[in-house]
Structure 1
Amino acid sequence: MNVLAIDTSTNVLGVAVANEKGIIGEQITYTKRNHSVRAMPTIEALLQECGMKPSDLDRIVVAKGPGSYTGVRIGVTIAKSLAWSLGIELVGISSLEVLAFNGRYFNGYVCPVFDARRGQLYTSLFRAENGEVTRVQEDQNLLAKDFVEGLKQLNEPVLFIGSDVSIHEETFRGALGERAAFAPASLHHARAGELAMLGMQLPPEEIHSFVPNYVRLAEAEAKWLEAQEKQREE
């Protein structure tokens, strides 16, 4: 099975090609540039570098969020369009879950973090043991100070991972003390190759009904719904 993985859910643009034997090619760019302009040329260049054509692909795997609203939407739109036009399978995986796998060799809990502004974060909780990662909590969006209250009940160390961890580091340290561990910078970004390998193991999804996982409404949509509710009350 030849798999193309796409991750545009954060500032990082990640694209990878893999099969059952492993990762064939991978390109990751850590720059704040327009994914809508760069994603397709990057995919085309990587396939060419790997000596493959779109018709050689059997499955598209995409990081479906949470993360940047625009970034998630771009990645999912590209993935759905490619899967439908090529007549191949589509799989979506949580962007936080892919990042959590960078901490698979940490013995304890792994907490991937994306900043959601105004003291909030996108996060979830996983347990890492013997190189395996299992989900403990679903993806969520909440205030950092509220999230750490739940972590205080854990008796094991927690590894915080992600490029936005530094924004909330004081909160994490204040709540957990020495039980708070922080991943090195080299592990703060999810790998598209990991996304590809994870997606190879999952059942395909229905393309037309597949939607991003924003976890919360985009701010513009939330304000629109709030305005509609106020109009109904008047």
Structure 2
Amino acid sequence: MTILAIDTSNYVLGVALLEDNQVLGEYITNLKKNHSVRIMPAIQTLMKDCERLPADLTKIVVAEGPGSYTGVRIGVTVAKTLAWTLNIPLVGISSLEILAAGTGRYFDGYVSPIFDARRGQVYTALYQYQNSKLAAVKKDQLVMLADWAEELQEMDKPILFVGNDLPIHQAKIDEILGEKAIYASKLEHNPRPAELAGLGQDKPGEDLHSFVPNYIRLAEAEAKWLEAKGKILNG
């Protein structure tokens, strides 16, 4: 089995090839650049360097969100197109789960990955490794960071926070959780596409026609358009 993993759900762009439980290669950048221009060359470079052809692929695994509206859409569109063209299964994995998978494996507690969602809000969830497998304790959600930290006060173990957006929220986390909050190393904040491939390795393919990104919330422009439309319809 040769799996191609694709993640463009945030500033980090990552692609990986996983074959028979071996990571053949990874390409990762954390740059504020146009993913739509860079994703296909990244895939092509990785495939060429690993001496694999599109026909060798047996599954596509993609980060389905939440995250950047545009970034999530780009990754999912590319993944669906490749899966459809090659007639191979497509699997979607939470972008938050990918981040948690890379940090919590040897941590005796919970993992809370954080993506900033502006205005004091974050995309987050709570995960824990149970019997060597990552399990969701609290589902992916959009929440005020302060409310989330208050909720985590009730947990019975320390919380490991991870994510490139932590500096925006760390002061508030410290204020509410104190020593209960642990922070991942700066080397762990980029989600690894190889982790993404591993998470989707044994999952069944999804229906390509109905598969859509998990934005959790509408893009701001779309939300404003719907709000304005509602006002017009309601007089």
TM-score under structure 1 normalisation?
0.97
The one-letter code sitting in structure 1 at the alignment partner of 2:193 is A
> What is the CA distance between 1:131 and its match in structure 2?
4.6
Corresponding residue number in structure 2 for 1:111: 112
The one-letter code sitting in structure 2 at the alignment partner of 1:208 is H
Corresponding residue number in structure 1 for 2:20: 20
Identity rate, percent: 55
Contact 1:105 1:129 survives alignment (8 Å): no
> What is the CA distance between 1:130 and its match in structure 2?
6.4
SS at match of 1:212: coil
In 2, the alpha carbon distance for the partners of 1:87 and 1:132 equals: 29
In 2, the alpha carbon distance for the partners of 1:149 and 1:179 equals: 12
> What is the CA distance between 1:197 and its match in structure 2?
1.2
Do residues 92 (structure 1) and 55 (structure 2) align? no
Corresponding residue number in structure 2 for 1:56: 56
Corresponding residue number in structure 1 for 2:229: 228
The one-letter code sitting in structure 1 at the alignment partner of 2:108 is N
* Equivalent runs, 1:76-87 vs 2, <5 Å: 76-87=76-87
Contact 1:8 1:63 survives alignment (8 Å): yes
The one-letter code sitting in structure 2 at the alignment partner of 1:8 is T
Instruction: Give the superposed CA RMSD.
Output: 1.1
In 2, the alpha carbon distance for the partners of 1:162 and 1:6 equals: 18
> What is the CA distance between 1:179 and its match in structure 2?
0.5
Q: Which range moved further: 16-25 or 83-92?
A: 16-25
> What is the CA distance between 1:154 and its match in structure 2?
1.1
> What is the CA distance between 1:117 and its match in structure 2?
0.7
In 1, the alpha carbon distance for the partners of 2:8 and 2:21 equals: 25
> What is the CA distance between 1:105 and its match in structure 2?
1.2
> What is the CA distance between 1:82 and its match in structure 2?
0.5
Corresponding residue number in structure 2 for 1:167: 168
Contact 2:115 2:123 survives alignment (8 Å): yes
* Equivalent runs, 1:122-137 vs 2, <5 Å: 122-128=123-129, 131-137=132-138
SS at match of 1:156: coil
> What is the CA distance between 1:151 and its match in structure 2?
0.6
* Equivalent runs, 1:3-18 vs 2, <5 Å: 3-18=3-18
> What is the CA distance between 1:171 and its match in structure 2?
1.1
Contact 1:17 1:26 survives alignment (8 Å): yes
Corresponding residue number in structure 2 for 1:37: 37
TM-score under structure 2 normalisation?
0.97
SS at match of 1:107: coil
Question: Which stretches of structure 1, 4 residues or longer, exceed 2 Å deviation after superposition?
Answer: 128-133
SS at match of 2:155: coil
In 2, the alpha carbon distance for the partners of 1:183 and 1:130 equals: 21
* Alignment size in residue pairs: 234
Gaps (5+ residues) in structure 1? none
Contact 1:110 1:125 survives alignment (8 Å): yes
* Equivalent runs, 1:172-183 vs 2, <5 Å: 172-183=173-184
Corresponding residue number in structure 2 for 1:154: 155
In 2, the alpha carbon distance for the partners of 1:226 and 1:47 equals: 44
Corresponding residue number in structure 1 for 2:65: 65
Do residues 185 (structure 1) and 186 (structure 2) align? yes
Gaps (5+ residues) in structure 2? none
In 1, the alpha carbon distance for the partners of 2:102 and 2:25 equals: 18
In 1, the alpha carbon distance for the partners of 2:64 and 2:224 equals: 23
Corresponding residue number in structure 1 for 2:102: 102
